[in-house]
Structure 1
Amino acid sequence: MEPLQMKRIPKVELHCHLDGSIRKETLRSIYVEQNNPLQLSDEALHQAMTAAERCDLTNYLTCFRIVSSALHTKQALQLALFDVVEQAVEENIFYLEIRLSPLHLATENFSMEEVAEALIEAADLVKVRYPIQIGLIFCCMRQQSDSQNKQVIDLAKKFLGKGVVAIDLAGDELKFPTRDYRSLFIYANRLGIPYTVHAGETGSLQSVLDAIDFEAKRIGHGIALAKSQKAMEKAQKQGILLEMCPVCNIQTGAVASWKEYPVKEFLENGLPISFNTDNRTVSNTTLTNNFLQVAQNCYSLSEKEVLKQVKTAIDYLFVDEENKQALQKKLNNHQLYG
């Protein structure tokens, strides 16, 4: 499929990190506005995008420090959100779930609640300014304490249905095993908050199995699941969708090469999947590019297959059934008249 043809297909994205997806021009303008002495030098920009040159997950995660250090004001957060939304609109994404760590973006003078309010206010403006809907996912972080992460869950509960749609668990799963966070998902379940879990991004099958046991309906990445036929069957039986991030997964070594990227294995085992950017800036990619890279290097994709994946992604959005039906209708209208 040609790039322009892929770009024009209406798409949905489930896995996009705010602080890893802001265009460098916007980052630079935020730093200049804040009179930050770093002002995002060319050297700093190169460091922020170093993942495009391939590195392991631990080093990949260090790229976020440069970006997130600029996002501690209402104005900066809103500019960042608009920037990511504009990128999505440019490639015909009509629903986007954006995730972030409110605790990571808060400071002594800018509380988690103020972080949430700034983003929700921006999300409301998005509805007016852009032909796209967005949902916010608040990330608990593996390096944070249980009490800190429960504060994030409480914050998500407060704004659930008002812009926030779910929570996530993110961070370095090699250093902080998924199994240690069971209590957080018991707590989220008790509060009625939907959730996804980063797991299986670093080769740990056990990490994915733990996320499955936590009754996650979506797993971020999940690549290690391909190591076990029994595990794939278990995930399929529970109806779990894998939020695959192909370009990022190649960069961080989640798989050794495109030849080993498990799109075919997952599809043949009936696993729902979706392709995502993960981090547009840090990985120097777009959603269109992720589809194209898979099609060129891994698994042939027709327009029909891309649209089928978009339909599947809508089914797994953290929104109510009425909203899902409206989005499916929008997609069907494209197929009829696009």
Structure 2
Amino acid sequence: MNLFNFIILPEFIVSLLLILIVLVPILLCVAWMTIIERKVMGSMQRRIGPNVVGYYGILQPFADALKLVVKEQIIPAQSNKALFFLAPMISLVFSLLAWGVVPFGSGMAIYDFSLGILYSLALASMGVYGSLFAGWAANSKYAFLGSLRTTAQMVSYELIYSTGIISVILLSGSLNLSVISESQSTIWYIVPLFPVFIIYLISAIAELNRTPFDLPEAESELVCGFMTEHSGMIFVFFYLAEYSGIVLMSTFSSVLFLGGYSFPEIFINHSFFNIQTFVLAIKALAFMFFFVWVRATYVRQRYDGLMIFTWTKLLPIAIAFLIFIPSTLIAFNIPPIS
């Protein structure tokens, strides 16, 4: 039943309200992700971390947002003004649009699209234009080099990333994320596809430009990469897009390999409330913690080593699994789990 059936409203207003109900918690999760990262890294490095603004520092993200909003925006004189402002908007919009097909529970998605994975991959590919436009429009060597690194890195690792997703599609027999979640009620795909999961996880870190693969934003080489010339409010858009990507990737990975919102039925049927969304959140938090853990543990790699590792190490292994998995399914006459 529609949440707004008791109110007579135009359909587009109802759709807008439903989107806001999902979007506002997501933006809050992005804000909390920043404080989670700083507190977890502080604990791992024997530091206190933010602890002044609010109880245990939980209001620090809002203080940071206020500081950035009131800062002066400096625009390079020789920059392309239109693309300079458009680039961060592209990055943020495409990182938020992908949430439209993510199922938060049984029947709980903004749009339960039958080609949801294809939709997500298309948006992930479009997001690279934000980084590319930012580097080119700024008319700065550091920003331009950062955007070129981003484009080459994301295009390279999308091959590996897509290969891991195709393996899940072969097992589930569907491109629908809800079907993929429900098909893992017996066994999570991380168990039969563990080697593929490891390859997928490495490519996910590279897709997010996270340490040790944060070469596009290497402050020791490129100041801040493609975001070097952006400041104030337009920098906030890049910042939100980056952490929104982490939360989205964590949720997406939990749907693909950890069953998403699915949970043993004995717990769900005897609970006093639907815990499916809570289960999905716990799984996504585990991935978020892992991404922070990796950042606190490993050092940044060299860019040539990063690209060589993709094309000469990961890609042959990923192609081998892409041939092995369907061959095994056909040889043993294993039907799709869904």
Whether these two folds match at TM > 0.5 is: no
**Greater percentage in strand:** 1
**Greater percentage in helix:** 2
Normalized against structure 2, the TM-score is what?
Answer: 0.27
Larger radius of gyration: 2
Normalized against structure 1, the TM-score is what?
Answer: 0.27
